[in-house]
Amino acid sequence: MSLVKEGGSMTYQVPVLTPTNYPVWAVKVKSIMDAHDIWETVEPKAGETSDQKKSKQALSFLFQAIPEDMILQMASYTEPKKVWDGLKTRYLGVDPVRMARFATLKRELESLRMKDGETVDDFVTKLSGLASKARSLGYELEEGDLVKRLLDSMSKSFLQIVASTEQCFELDSMLFNEAVGKLKACEERIRGTEKVEDTQSGLLLASEEKSHVCKHCGNGRSNWDDFGRDRGRGRGSGRSRDGNERVWDKKSR
């Protein structure tokens, strides 16, 4: 980062380009240039001519944001747009290559589905990762497109909240983080309901076991082996020393 003081009162940081940080660098630089009203020199609006003073400011800004060894390579460019396009081609490749990569990412986005048992956070991380790769290729996905892709990819347990969101809200104007928040709130309710059901099932099972009475002996235990062992110890039976069973009655005494 290099510090730049503007107008004698405001200081802002210029991110410096490295061999590996172009996607993030491009987002930061575009944001800073737009905040200082000089991004229009790189992407002018239709029908508007570039202001020479702003163009020189944007060119100076970009030269501060690239490594010194690249400044000599870009020194012949007198327009900020040519510098920006040259950097984009160098780090992302020519348009046909970028389009092929983006087509692959688009197929991945369309086939992405939330798995059963997967959390909202884990799935959103996957979706955001693909969106970030698309941005790194120079293709910005609109918030509305991301929201629709998110809702279309949810698992069956979220069908009710998805249907409600699609009916009650304008998806084109909904923020991605807002949609994620609604899904996470639904996820918490689902988990809370599952916990209550598990608790109720456990209490019901315990109640049934406690109230069960053995129909043979009238005790709360129903183990058949115990019942058979108790019968074998009745008053009218016994075993001799040789192990043979004999029955005692009044006549034999």
pLDDT digits (tens, 9 = 90+) for 219-237: 544 443 444 444 444 444 4
DSSP code for 156? G
pLDDT category, 204, cuts 50, 70, 90? low
pLDDT above 70 covers a percentage of the chain that reads 71
DSSP code for 79? S
What residues does each domain of the chain span? 2-92, 115-232
Q: Which ranges of 112-212 would DSSP assign to H, the alpha helix?
A: 120-136, 143-152, 159-168, 176-211
Could you tell me the pTM of the whole model? 0.52
Least confident of 129-133, 164-168, 180-184, 240-244: 240-244
Over residues 64-80, mean pLDDT = 90
Q: What is the mean pLDDT of the chain?
A: 77
Q: Is the pLDDT of residue 2 over 50?
A: no
CA distances from 211 to 110, 190, 219 (A): 55, 32, 11
Residues 247, 237: contact at Cβ < 8 Å? yes
Length of the chain: 253
Residues 80, 55: contact at Cβ < 8 Å? yes
Q: Which ranges of 39-94 would DSSP assign to H, the alpha helix?
A: 52-64, 68-74, 80-92
